[in-house]
Homo-oligomer: A and B are copies of this chain.
Amino acid sequence: MMGCMPISSAVLENPKSDRIRHVADLASRHTRRKIGKFLVEGPQSVREAVRFMPSAVHDLYVSASLMHNSHSAAEAIAFEADREGIYVHPCSGAVMDRISADCQGIAAVMDCEAVEHVATKPIDERLAADGDGRGGLVAACWQVRDPGNAGTIVRVADAAGCSGVILVDDCVDVTNPKVVRATAGSLFHIPVVRLGVDGFFGWAAERNVHVTAADVYGTSQRPPIGLPDMLAATDGAQTSQTRAVLFGNEARGLEEGTVNRCDDVVTIPIYGKAESLNVATSAAVLLYAFAMRSAAR
């Protein structure tokens, strides 16, 4: 261990203290907006936050009982946080319960601005860094409102090697605890950028990004192309063009005018009797299909 401040030996035991009340209040969007901080819960997410964005992590709260267990993931994360100069607070079980019912004994308080981007710079930089002539991949969501769906899309976009996620128009808040949990740490791996509709299409035009709408029906101007056909059409093609796949709202999909602004429309074939797939499942199928195709080139 490098020289650093020792982890406090004092255990926070009062769940009604001002400090703990403020942490618990981060479940409210209003409070997050007001003080610019959000809560990260559970060992996987906290570990990734400490590892990938240590300078944005203010405080780490960890169950004192886990701190005395040298085999716990929580203890290892606390030591790593301590080495990064993050304040580590051992807490009683009652305090951890007050902070969050879902944190499995460890939680961190972070700056919202570390994960809330309103300009494409971090994605552009990532695309440039990832660029190896195979073309990049970006996931985009229009008005996705369900926290579980948004978080799952960020996680699958990370796994599929996307350079970022763009939340277009009025999507769920990425610092919502349910979104953070569903990303399973991926929120700290890839940039998530919020743009308006015009901002998104303006970025795509400026950067020569090919925008593919994920939509069952398409429009008369943009008829849907089945995923296998779209993959076959790119077979053997050498392209360095970045593709953004745009997913629509859970209930309403994409608006016709928005679809018409895209370059093409992809649809997932339904081989059975299901009416549709949900948006997070569609994202998994489509992003992986494009990612595997790119990796094979």
A221 within 8 A of B: no
Show 10 A/B contacts (Cβ-Cβ < 8 Å), sorted by A. A152-B281, A158-B272, A159-B276, A159-B277, A160-B271, A161-B272, A184-B278, A228-B295, A285-B288, A289-B289
In the complex, how many angstroms separate the beta carbon of A108 from the nearest chain B beta carbon? Answer: 17
* Contact code string A257-281 (vs B, CB < 8 Å = 1, else 0): 0000000000011111111111011
Query: Contact at B228–A274, with CB atoms within 8 Å?
Result: no
Summarize A's interface: helix, strand, loop or mixed: helix
* Contact code string A41-54 (vs B, CB < 8 Å = 1, else 0): 00010000000100
Contact (A273, B186) CB under 8 Å given A284-B281, A292-B228: yes
Which residues of A from 147 to 179 have beta carbons under 8 Å from B?
152, 155-162
Task: Identify the 9 closest CB pairs spanning chains A and B, nearest first.
Answer: A161-B271, A159-B274, A189-B273, A158-B274, A158-B272, A284-B284, A285-B288, A281-B284, A161-B272
Which residues of A from 27 to 73 have beta carbons under 8 Å from B?
44, 52
A190 within 8 A of B: yes
A248 within 8 A of B: no
Query: Contact at A274–B189, with CB atoms within 8 Å?
Result: yes
Query: Contact at A190–B272, with CB atoms within 8 Å?
Result: yes
A127 within 8 A of B: no
A227 within 8 A of B: yes
Determine the chain B residues whose CB is within 8 A of the CB of A190 once the complex forms: 272-273
Q: How far is the CA of A185 from the CA of B155 in the complex (A)?
A: 26
Interface range for A: 35 or more
Query: Contact at B152–A274, with CB atoms within 8 Å?
Result: no
Copies of this chain in its oligomeric complex = 2
Determine the chain B residues whose CB is within 8 A of the CB of A160 once the complex forms: 271-272
- Closest-by-CB residue of B relative to A281 is B284
Q: How far is the CA of A285 from the CA of B283 in the complex (A)?
A: 9
Q: How far is the CA of A54 from the CA of B196 in the complex (A)?
A: 47
In the complex, how many angstroms separate the beta carbon of A54 from the nearest chain B beta carbon? Answer: 15
Most chain B Cβ neighbours within 10 Å, of A162, A231, A285, A296: A285
Determine the chain B residues whose CB is within 8 A of the CB of A228 once the complex forms: 292, 295-296
A118 within 8 A of B: no
Query: Contact at A269–B281, with CB atoms within 8 Å?
Result: no
In the complex, how many angstroms separate the beta carbon of A14 from the nearest chain B beta carbon? Answer: 33
